[in-house]
Amino acid sequence: MIMASVVIFGLGYVGVTAAACLLRQGHSVVGIDVSQEKVDLVGAGHSPVREPGVSELLAQGLADGRLRTDTTAASYVATADIALIAVGTPSKRGGGLNTDFVHDVARQIGLAMRLRAKQAPPLQCVFRSTLPPGTMDNIVVPTLTAAAGEGPGSRYEVCFNPEFLREGTAIDDYFAPPVIVFGERTKGVTGGCGGLYEGVDAPRMEVSFSEAEFIKFVNNSFHAIKVVFANEVGRLCLGLNVDPQTVMSTVVADKKLNLSPYYLRPGGAFGGSCLPKDMRALLSLARLSGSRVPVLESIIPSNETHKEYIVRAIIAAARPGAHILQIGLTFKPSTDDLRESPLVDQAQTLIEEGYRLSIYEPELAGASLMGANLSFVQSKLADLADLLVTDLEGLDPVDLIVLGKPLTAALPDNLHDVPKIDTVRLRPSHWPVTVRPNLVPFAERQS
């Protein structure tokens, strides 16, 4: 494997995971971010986000002298082999994506090309930020061309390489992806994005810029559909007094016709930094194109309905003013990401309804929240520090436990006999009957 010098723009979830994995492969990495806090953390070998294995790989890369960080990039781009762009594209008010950060980075790289030696090998510019179709063709390449004074093809090349990493298993996903997608201005011109995936065994697809950009939206929308579908089936099953776990485990056992069982498990609503944002962006694209997408338009409302359904179940099971212990707050296990977590909304609603709430979330133990992650939870739960508990044995008497995540260890004796609602896996045995009113056998209702 040829070792490369890689400059990474953006040290959020995608960027810092890429840095860790590239260091593991033996490459040299310079991490660039506008946040001095992130730059200092990564520069000291610490991850600014909670992702298993990332901090250890950063620390090893630092010890080996292959990791540096900075807030400015020009001098590093001038000598790098690869520039990897993973800056944020946050949602705009109407649901579209804000590509200002990507535009700014493209301009920075273009200007830095003027400082690059003429005889230097071509710079490979790999964009991983989520982008609406047409962004590479209409914004990125023209911006690079204007700033550099020349277009791609001779001294630099451009590739769009969407990532399909799941938070909590990102490193494993990086080295064992289901597919690798290369978006190119001309098929085959990028040579596999500068060899970033050398040694990684996965199907490789060379497509156009716009196709690669859109694949990310379709991928995440399909995941969202699977979550919503499984939850709608789960609600219907509970209304019929049928076990949704049995139903869906049988459905996904059909490996010939059903693609994947991963999201098809009735449980909690979807959330996080990808599915909600990408669903809104996809709907924005549909509106701009004049396309009618009633199924896709129903996904976010259905997800909201499911969140309301769970809260109604909790209220039905708890007397007014009861002490509720909520297990979990981040949007999924093995991450500290609170952005658009259904459990944050759930906690906010329970507090507004007058319940006394305690939250047990091991993923936040010692976590240093920052950026969009911090601002989101502060907008919902300003007193988060007062709600979090770490000592379950010393907790005041609890009236109801709401399982928002799988338990990783047995509950202490004082909580064994406390009534529980399991929102991780919907089951009639763990669900209030008052939320399942139609318990008359279906055949009788048809007669």
Q: Quick one: 169 exposed, middle or buried, by C-beta within 10 A (0-12, 13-18, 19+)?
A: middle
Measured N-to-C along each axis, helices 275-289 and 209-239 cross at an angle, to the nearest 10 degrees, of 110
Q: Which of 168, 202, 236 is the last residue of a domain?
A: 202
Measured N-to-C along each axis, helices 299-317 and 342-352 cross at an angle, to the nearest 10 degrees, of 40
Residue 79 makes CB contacts below 8 A (sequence gap 6+) with 5, 116, 120
Are 325 and 356 contacting, i.e. CB atoms less than 8 angstroms apart?
A: no
Catalytic site residues? 274
Token representation of residue 270: 């979807």
Give Dmax (Cα) for the chain: 83
Q: What is the pLDDT of residue 31?
A: 98
Domain that holds residue 14: 5-202
The DSSP annotation for 27-55 comes to -EEEEE-S-HHHHHHHHTT--SS--TTHH
3-class SS shares of the chain: helix, strand, coil, % to 5? 45, 15, 45
Q: Which of 152, 171, 202 is the last residue of a domain?
A: 202
Are 52 and 387 contacting, i.e. CB atoms less than 8 angstroms apart?
A: no
Alpha carbons 180 and 391: distance in angstroms, whole number: 44
pLDDT in tens, 81-131: 999 999 999 999 899 999 999 999 999 999 999 999 999 999 999 999 999
Domain shared by 163 and 25, yes or no:
yes
Q: What is the pLDDT of residue 444?
A: 42
The reply to whether 14 falls in a domain is yes
Number of domains in the chain: 2
Q: What is the pLDDT of residue 289?
A: 82
The reply to whether 183 falls in a domain is yes
Q: What is the pLDDT of residue 443?
A: 38
Q: Which residues of the chain have pLDDT under 70?
A: 1, 192, 194, 257-260, 366-367, 433-447
Are 45 and 123 contacting, i.e. CB atoms less than 8 angstroms apart?
A: no
Q: What is the pLDDT of residue 116?
A: 94
The reply to whether 215 falls in a domain is no
- Show binding-site residues for substrate: 164-167, 216, 263-267, 271, 332
pLDDT in tens, 146-157: 999 999 999 999
Are 276 and 300 contacting, i.e. CB atoms less than 8 angstroms apart?
A: yes
Domain shared by 195 and 343, yes or no:
no
Residue 160's φ and ψ, nearest 5 degrees, are: -110, 125
Element (H, E) at 138: none
Using DSSP, state whether 101 is helix, strand or coil.
helix
Q: What is the pLDDT of residue 366?
A: 61
- CATH number reported for the structural domain that contains residue 44 in this entry: 3.40.50.720
Q: What is the pLDDT of residue 428?
A: 77
Q: What is the pLDDT of residue 399?
A: 96
Q: Which of 202, 225, 240 is the last residue of a domain?
A: 202
Alpha carbons 131 and 136: distance in angstroms, whole number: 8
* Residue ranges with strand state E in 95-139: 123-127
- Show binding-site residues: 33, 38, 89, 130, 164-167, 216, 263-267, 271, 277, 332, 339
